[in-house]
């Protein structure tokens, strides 16, 4: 059997393991101090970071994996580099270094020629106020570090809100970016294997609620935007010598796509592939990092994924699958998701609305 170690113990690690088992892959999981591991219990060996001093001891404890991957971008890059002495780490640590820091990420995207919203780096009250002078309202002020699910960022429409954000941001390094006037948000999940085989899923439309993804729908039919997104993803994958799943989050504007951010991993907006594609993003990420031929990424019928944010009950409405991650209930927390498939897009929309009503009423 082939053995993979995953850094992180959340639902993404859980679904990678669930999708990897039929491929004959075994798993071990690396938990940081205090990390909740309920998602991955029973899916493989659980290793606690603090119990192992050296990289070598950790590699041994992880069961001498063939390859190591991570389920989130907020990982200890130095730790990944230590582990890299013993086996490949995909994506490479240099990717995480970019992805976990908004300014480095924006600069890297710009360097590869991808269009991003006008932005200004800022640290402290004076620089934040000056950035507003350059960009004008409205803007998003985003902390360079520890931002996910819309946390650690502030939408600022006027001076009063700016002063509030300055207070909250304190001395964190930030990126101030112009608010993009978009018609909708889309994402593209692609995979690239060690040998360089690339496949992409269809473009997916995403709807957020308070900065957190609520609904994803695929495929988003716009061949021109699809080509544009695919071109950007290909460019990044080649520029970064990328291996694994890579997600591009974009705004759709009258001038085409503006890239919001990337995620160097399987992505919430790709969960629909568990039902809607022959090979899921999780299976294909594993195939990519093990250098196996990639599976089919086509979407045969319109598919929707609805996040269960702070709710833990399965909807009674007809659906094509409910995933419950096994986490303890907390407001706004991603507890699970529901997948719907329907040959009729209108019917799919109606059914999605009904599920959302039932979950959140």
The two tokens of residue 40 are: 């991955």
Q: Which is nearer to ligand ATP, 97 or 185 (CB)?
A: 185
Contact status, residue 104 vs residue 157, Cβ threshold 8 Å: no
- DSSP-H helix ranges across the chain: 11-20, 55-61, 77-83, 93-99, 102-111, 124-135, 159-169, 223-239, 273-276, 281-289, 345-360
Q: Is 180 in the site for ligand ATP (CB under 6 A)?
A: yes
Q: Is 142 annotated as a binding residue?
A: yes
Radius of gyration of the chain (CA): 20
Q: What span, in angstroms and rounded, lies between the C-alpha atoms of 163 and 13?
A: 39
Which of the choices Mg ion, ligand ATP, none does residue 350 contact, using the CB cut-off of 5 to 8 A by kind? none
The two tokens of residue 70 are: 């991570």
Which of the choices Mg ion, ligand ATP, none does residue 103 contact, using the CB cut-off of 5 to 8 A by kind? none
By CB under 6 A, name the one of 19, 92, 97, 261 that touches ligand ATP: 261
Verify cis geometry, omega within 30 degrees of 0, for the bond prior to 219: yes
Stretch that binds ligand ATP, among 56-64, 103-111, 174-182, 352-360 (CB under 6 A): 174-182
Least distance from C-beta 249 to Mg ion, angstroms? 5
By CB under 6 A, the residues from 122 to 161 that bind ligand ATP are 140, 147-151, 153
In the Cβ-directed half-sphere of 245, how many Cα atoms lie within 13 Å?
A: 32
Total binding residues toward Mg ion, as defined by CB under 5 A: 2
By CB under 5 A, the residues from 248 to 287 that bind Mg ion are 249, 261
Total binding residues toward ligand ATP, as defined by CB under 6 A: 17
Q: Which is nearer to Mg ion, 72 or 199 (CB)?
A: 72
Q: Is 32 annotated as a binding residue?
A: no
Least distance from C-beta 101 to Mg ion, angstroms? 11
Least distance from C-beta 195 to ligand ATP, angstroms? 29
Q: Is 260 annotated as a binding residue?
A: yes
By CB under 6 A, name the one of 100, 228, 260, 307 that touches ligand ATP: 260
Which of the choices Mg ion, ligand ATP, none does residue 222 contact, using the CB cut-off of 5 to 8 A by kind? none
Least distance from C-beta 330 to ligand ATP, angstroms? 16
Residue with tokens 């930030």: 174
List Cα–Cα distances, 184 to 108, 163, 216, 251, 354, in angstroms: 24, 29, 11, 6, 21
Which of the choices Mg ion, ligand ATP, none does residue 270 contact, using the CB cut-off of 5 to 8 A by kind? none
Stretch that binds ligand ATP, among 6-14, 48-56, 176-184, 290-298 (CB under 6 A): 176-184
Q: Is 261 annotated as a binding residue?
A: yes
The two tokens of residue 26 are: 């075994």
Q: Which is nearer to Mg ion, 71 or 249 (CB)?
A: 249
Fill in the DSSP letter of residue 277: B
Q: What span, in angstroms and rounded, lies between the C-alpha atoms of 21 and 15?
A: 10
Q: Which long-range contacts (CB under 8 A, 24 or more apart) does 330-334 make?
A: 332/149, 332/210, 332/212, 333/309, 334/11, 334/149, 334/212, 334/268, 334/307, 334/308, 334/309
Least distance from C-beta 241 to ligand ATP, angstroms? 23
Residues binding ligand ATP (CB under 6 A)? 117, 140, 147-151, 153, 177, 179-180, 185, 208, 211, 249, 260-261
Binding residues for ATP: 102, 142, 177-180, 185, 208, 260-261
């Amino acid at each position: 059997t082939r053995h993979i170690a995953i850094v992180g113990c959340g639902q993404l690690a859980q679904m990678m393991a669930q999708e990897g088992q039929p491929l004959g892959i075994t798993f071990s999981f690396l938990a940081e101090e205090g990390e909740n591991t309920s998602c991955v219990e029973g899916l493989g060996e659980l290793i606690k970071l603090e119990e192992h001093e050296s990289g070598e001891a950790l590699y041994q404890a992880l069961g001498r994996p063939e390859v190591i991957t991570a389920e989130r971008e907020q990982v200890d890059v130095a730790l990944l580099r230590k582990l890299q002495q013993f086996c490949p780490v995909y994506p490479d640590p240099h990717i995480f270094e970019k992805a976990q820091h908004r300014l480095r990420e924006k600069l890297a995207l710009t360097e590869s020629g991808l269009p991003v919203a006008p932005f200004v780096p800022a640290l402290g009250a004076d620089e934040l106020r000056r950035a507003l002078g350059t960009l004008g309202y409205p803007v998003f002020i985003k902390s360079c570090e520890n931002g996910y699910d819309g946390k650690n960022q502030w939408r600022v429409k006027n001076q009063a809100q700016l002063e509030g954000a300055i207070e909250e941001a304190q001395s964190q390094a930030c990126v101030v970016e112009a608010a993009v006037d978009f018609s909708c948000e889309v994402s593209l999940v692609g995979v690239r294997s060690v040998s360089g085989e690339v496949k992409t899923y269809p473009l997916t439309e995403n709807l957020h609620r308070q900065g957190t993804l609520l609904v994803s729908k695929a495929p988003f039919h716009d061949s021109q935007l699809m080509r544009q997104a695919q071109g950007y993803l290909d460019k990044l994958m080649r520029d970064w010598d990328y291996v694994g799943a890579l997600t591009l989050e974009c705004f759709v504007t009258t001038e085409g796509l503006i890239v919001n951010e990337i995620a160097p991993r399987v992505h919430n907006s790709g969960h629909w592939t568990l039902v809607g594609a022959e090979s899921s993003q999780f299976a294909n990420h594993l195939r990519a990092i093990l250098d196996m031929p990639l599976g089919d990424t086509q979407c045969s019928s319109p598919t929707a994924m609805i996040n269960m944010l702070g709710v833990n009950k399965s909807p009674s409405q007809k659906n094509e699958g409910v995933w419950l991650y096994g986490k303890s209930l907390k407001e706004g927390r991603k507890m699970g998701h529901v997948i719907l498939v329907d040959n009729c897009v209108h019917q799919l929309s109606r059914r999605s609305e009904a599920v959302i009503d039932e979950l959140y009423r």
